[in-house]
């Protein structure tokens, strides 16, 4: 967006900035945990009893973890017993005798589990030293990454996936995560369970496949760094790439063999409903379905051939995805439904479980993503039409600009509304959570994009689309605060925020604001019913 959306690029006046390369450059030039000269005063050893206590705390509060962590710990081979047993073996006689674990002598498997357990306890208990030791544990794990990469056994899969998830949710390093995921394909391909293997082995392998599917399209757009499925899928949504055909075939075939969940054929049959009684199965299915819808959007609307597409060229895809997303929502059991409009969000924000945050984020992001090309066309129609007029021949009748079609404006409205929802969701979580929490780098990229969308629409001829959502400036303030404060704020996110602030300041300088009596003020996305109803500009 910083490179191709003209309303942003004309306001981007930072000398030497390369919009398509800065994320990788910032990572390469960093001086923190991933740099060669990293130093910390934290001791590189810890009592084994402390690690076990932190693991117990992690699993006692497992519902507070992101879905991918929970699924890996509950079904992917890293159960509480498996994690604790790694460290109990160090506690030999006499009974109760404690042992100091030296980080430079621990295997990578211990270091990864130790790092996530220490980091979680450090956040919840606000123990900074534990947080520093968690980072140091992860630093030592990084130095052994070749060990786990070289292992081509099923036992290595959960630790590789844990490595990837930590890179995305704790340290914001999408390129490192992508590299590890790319090397996972042979392991996933070659370690599929045999027909005579136990149901537990097959179920565990399924868990790996689901996480791989989710993660493959998560973190990176237009950086040309390669490609990887929900981990790989989540990475590729932000990095740009297409999963290998062979891997896609293997995973879909494997998923279709399971009796619990199947990957939805997005443009084929209707979604399959799971049993309402099986919450874990239902939660997994909803994540997989939304991930599959997003993959379809990326395939049909974000390929090089679709660049600068006109609304009529993608109307069929948008219509079908929109219909299926609406059906998906109304097929949810009542306890999984969530607000889809800013006004209802504010009314219900205190009554929605944080366990639904990830699910509704995926929903908002999917609608945001499918409608964004249409908003791009509307915002840049003048430039597009000028180019088209220059290249057009004099033959044939003129074609009516699709921008006049009512559905196009409805699509723009959906994009802006869900950009607003993404901002409100992040802001509400930051305001209502007592401590920091694990947050995906990929989700933050959608927040950055939502910030950029509101910034442009506010200063455009279609700014009326923001009416009813409150003062756009205060909405941007909420996005700004959510991006600035949090656990997973690596240099590349801070650099993106700096770019957005630079562009915003240039918008302010070049486009003086005029007071408007139709705007209401947002002070927080979390408001009481009474205070919300007293604001004349808020409506459903």
Q: Which residue has better confidence, 182 or 404?
A: 182
Q: What single-letter DSSP state applies at residue 220?
A: B
Looking at residues 421-433, what average pLDDT do you find?
A: 89
* Contact status, residue 172 vs residue 81, Cβ threshold 8 Å: no
CB atoms within 10 A of CB 419: 32
Confidence of residue 131 (pLDDT cuts 50, 70, 90): very high
**Is residue 148 very low, low, confident or very high in pLDDT (cuts 50, 70, 90)?**
confident
Angle at 22 between CA 234 and CA 145, to 5 degrees: 55
How far apart CA 173 and CA 160 sit, in angstroms, is: 15
User: Distance between alpha carbon 187 and the CA centroid of its chain, in Å?
Assistant: 25
Residue 217 in this model has a pLDDT that exceeds 60: no
Least confident of 243-247, 357-361, 508-512: 243-247
Q: Which residues pair with 235 in a beta bridge?
A: 217
Tokens of 135: 């980072």
Query: For residues 84 and 52, what is the distance between their CA atoms, to the nearest angstrom?
Result: 6
More confident residue, 510 or 105: 105
Q: What's residue 315's pLDDT? A: 93
What was the pLDDT predicted at 537?
A: 37
> Mean pLDDT, to the nearest integer, of 13-27?
89
Task: Give the per-residue pLDDT at 235.
Answer: 56
pLDDT at 240: 47
Token digits of residue 182: 């790319």
pLDDT at 225 over 80: no
Say whether pLDDT at 511 is over 80: no
Res 123 pLDDT > 90:
yes
Q: Higher-confidence residue: 401 or 530?
A: 401
Q: Could you tell me which residue, 217 or 108, shows the higher pLDDT?
A: 108
Please state whether 486 falls in left (phi above 0), alpha (psi between -120 and 50) or beta: left
Is residue 309's pLDDT more than 90?
Answer: no
Q: CA 295 → CA 32, 243, 303, 491, distances in Å?
A: 33, 10, 11, 28
Average pLDDT, the chain: 79
Q: What is the pLDDT of residue 388?
A: 55
The pTM score is: 0.82
Average pLDDT over residues 128-135: 94
> What is the C-alpha separation between 20 and 269, in angstroms, rounded?
38
Give yes or no for residue 368 having a pLDDT over 60: yes
Give the model's pLDDT for residue 238: 56
pLDDT at 356 over 90: no
Q: What is the 3-state secondary structure (H, E, C) of 394-444?
A: CCCCCCCCHHHCHHHHHHHHHHHHHHHHHHHHHHHHHHHCCCCCCCCHHHH
Q: How confident is the model at residue 102 (pLDDT cuts 50, 70, 90)?
A: very high
For 184, residues 6+ apart whose C-beta sits below 8 A from its C-beta are 157, 160, 212
Distance CA 60, CA 75 (A): 16
Instruction: Name the maximum alpha-carbon separation found in the chain.
Output: 93
pLDDT of residue 222: 29
The reported pLDDT for the residue numbered 531 is 33
Q: What local confidence, expressed as pLDDT, does residue 69 receive?
A: 93
pLDDT for res 154? 77
Question: Average pLDDT for residues 494-503, to the nearest whole number?
Answer: 95
433 vs 162, higher pLDDT: 162
The answer, yes or no, to whether the previous bond of 314 is cis (omega within 30 of 0) is no
**DSSP secondary-structure letter at 45?**
E
* Rounded-to-integer distance, Cα 18 and Cα 379, Å: 23
- Decide: helix, strand or coil at residue 47: strand
Q: What is the mean pLDDT of residues 356-363?
A: 91
CA dist 74 and 135 (Å) reads: 24
* Residues paired with residue 102 on neighbouring β-strands, in sequence order: 45
């Amino acid at each position: 967006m910083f490179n191709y959306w003209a309303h942003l690029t004309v306001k981007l006046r930072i000398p030497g900035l390369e919009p398509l390369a800065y994320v990788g450059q910032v990572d390469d030039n960093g001086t923190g945990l991933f740099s060669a000269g990293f130093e910390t005063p934290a001791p590189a050893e810890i009592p084994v009893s402390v690690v076990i206590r932190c693991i117990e705390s992690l699993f006692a509060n497992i519902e507070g973890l992101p879905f991918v962590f929970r699924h890996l710990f509950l079904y992917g081979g890293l159960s509480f017993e498996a994690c604790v047993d790694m460290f109990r073996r160090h506690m030999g006689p006499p009974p109760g005798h404690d042992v100091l674990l030296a980080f430079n002598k621990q295997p990578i498997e211990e270091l990864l589990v130790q790092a996530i357990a220490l980091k979680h306890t450090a956040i919840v208990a606000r123990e900074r030293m534990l947080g520093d030791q968690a980072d140091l544990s992860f630093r030592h794990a990084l130095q052994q990454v070749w060990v786990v990469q070289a292992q081509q056994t099923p036992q290595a899969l959960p630790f590789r996936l844990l490595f990837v998830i930590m890179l995305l949710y704790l340290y914001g390093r999408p390129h490192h995560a992508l590299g590890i995921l790319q090397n996972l394909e042979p392991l996933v391909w070659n370690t599929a369970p045999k027909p005579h293997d136990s149901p537990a082995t097959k179920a565990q392998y399924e868990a790996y496949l689901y996480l791989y599917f989710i993660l493959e399209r998560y973190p990176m757009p237009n950086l040309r760094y390669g490609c990887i499925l929900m981990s790989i899928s989540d990475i590729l949504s932000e990095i740009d790439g297409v999963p290998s055909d062979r891997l896609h075939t293997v995973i879909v075939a494997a998923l279709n063999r399971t009796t619990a969940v199947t990957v939805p054929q997005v443009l084929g049959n209707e979604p399959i409903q799971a049993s309402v009684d099986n919450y874990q199965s239902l939660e997994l299915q909803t994540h997989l379905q939304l991930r599959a819808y997003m993959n379809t959007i990326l395939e049909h609307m974000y390929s090089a051939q679709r660049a600068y597409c006109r609304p009529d060229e993608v109307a069929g895809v948008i219509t079908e995805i929109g219909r299926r997303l609406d059906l998906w929502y109304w097929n949810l059991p009542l306890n999984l439904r969530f607000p889809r409009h800013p006004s209802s969000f504010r009314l219900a924000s205190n009554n929605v479980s944080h366990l639904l945050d990830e699910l509704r984020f995926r929903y908002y992001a999917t609608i945001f993503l499918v409608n964004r090309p249409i908003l791009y066309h509307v915002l840049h129609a003048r430039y597009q039409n000028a180019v088209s007029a220059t290249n057009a021949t004099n033959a044939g009748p003129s074609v009516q600009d699709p921008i006049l079609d009512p559905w196009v404006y409805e699509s723009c409205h959906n994009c802006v509304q869900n950009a607003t929802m993404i901002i409100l969701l992040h802001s509400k979580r930051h305001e209502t959570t007592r401590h920091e929490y694990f947050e995906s780098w990929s989700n933050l990229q959608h927040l950055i994009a939502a910030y950029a969308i509101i910034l442009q629409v506010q200063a455009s001829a279609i700014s009326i689309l923001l009416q009813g959502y409150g003062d756009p400036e205060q909405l941007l303030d909420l996005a700004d605060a959510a991006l600035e404060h949090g656990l997973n704020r690596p240099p590349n996110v801070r650099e993106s925020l700096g770019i957005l602030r630079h562009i915003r300041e240039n918008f302010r300088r070049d486009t003086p604001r005029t007071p408007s009596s139709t705007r209401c003020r947002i002070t927080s996305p979390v408001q009481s019913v009474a205070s919300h109803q007293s604001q004349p500009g808020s409506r459903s």
